[in-house]
Structure 1
């Protein structure tokens, strides 16, 4: 069972100085890539601290979700979109995009996928203390709010990184990496973002 601890991620400033990004995961992984932007998908969390242009990602599709703060006023190719918290919004990475912050700073979850190769999805669900939420292969479960724990499904045999017979506590914005063989299950109260990265079939 693999957990990406948000507190251990280093923020990287935007090129325009309008915020900072913490990268949860990308494919290919950094050790496998030759150039900084040669990846097919990326999941990250960004702090937006001032109004301004968003970086362009030609050839990519983007799903942006405000996860902290009240409102991001996003303009995409001249059209204005008020994005409230926990409402995913999809747009092309080629678009000319800029954000305004009418209610103050925000934090957003970004899922970027290479068009025609992968398709990204973000769903926001409310957790339950009685019914665990499984996180399958190709998915990430990111705790947005509340208190939760994660453990391997009872039917799995455990493995590297699994806690011995116990549940691991999750902190805010920690990400659980999904698996089909040792499926993690998340229990608690609060809200979870489930990010799915699906290969595009011919």
Structure 2
């Protein structure tokens, strides 16, 4: 069971220098979820969290499709190719990475979850899930579960088996639940599917490969 601890992630400057991003996971070639790249966008998909503290332009990503979700703050005014879109908290919005885009902050700073995937190779989705203390939410292969708000813990689906490598192997003794902090991420698996219980909201970023 692999947990990516948000507090351990290093902020990276935007490609255009207008802000900072913390990369949760990316994929390029043989690199998989939970292994980050630092080569300025030479990846097929990426999941990241960006702090937006001033109005301005966004970095262009030609050939990519983006799904942006405000996860902290009230409102982001996103302009895409001259059309303005008011984005409220927890409402994912899809747009072309190659479009001219910029944002304004009418209610103050925001934090965005960004899921970006290469067009024709992958399709990205973001969903917001309300957690329950009685019914665990599974995180499957190709997904990343990010705790946005509240208190939650994650357990491996098959307690007692060896867990995979990662930033934090995470599994307690005998499969005991492991507490998650805000914006910590759980890497999904089909063989030992992590299960999250708690109160609050979870973002599930899904990356589906496209067949030719």
TM over 0.5: yes
2:198 corresponding residue in structure 1:
188
The root-mean-square deviation of aligned C-alpha atoms, in Å, is 1.8
Normalising by the residue count of structure 1, what TM-score does the alignment of the two structures yield?
Answer: 0.95
2:57 corresponding residue in structure 1:
53
1:11 corresponding residue in structure 2:
11
After TM superposition, where is structure 1 displaced by more than 6 Å over at least 4 residues in a row?
A: 30-34
Which of 158, 161, 174 is the matching residue for 1:158? 161
1:20 corresponding residue in structure 2:
20
CA contact (8 A) 1:66 1:85 kept: yes
Show structure 1 runs of 5+ residues with no match.
none
CA contact (8 A) 1:157 1:182 kept: no
Q: Distance in 1 between matches of 2:161 and 2:55?
A: 46
SS in 2 for 1:183: coil
SS in 1 for 2:173: coil
SS in 2 for 1:7: helix
**Post-superposition offset of 1:38:** 1.6
How many residues align structurally? 201
Change (3 A) 1:148 1:18: same
Q: Distance in 2 between matches of 1:18 and 1:50?
A: 8
1:128 corresponding residue in structure 2:
132
Query: What whole-Å deviation, never above 9, does each CA across 1:111-160 have from its counterpart, x for those lacking one?
Result: 0000000000000010000000000000000000000000011x454313
Query: What whole-Å deviation, never above 9, does each CA across 1:50-108 have from its counterpart, x for those lacking one?
Result: 00000000000000000000000000001000000000000000100000000000000
Q: Distance in 1 between matches of 2:51 and 2:38?
A: 27
Q: Distance in 1 between matches of 2:13 and 2:80?
A: 22
Show structure 2 runs of 5+ residues with no match.
164-168
Change (3 A) 1:125 1:157: same
Q: Distance in 1 between matches of 2:104 and 2:190?
A: 40
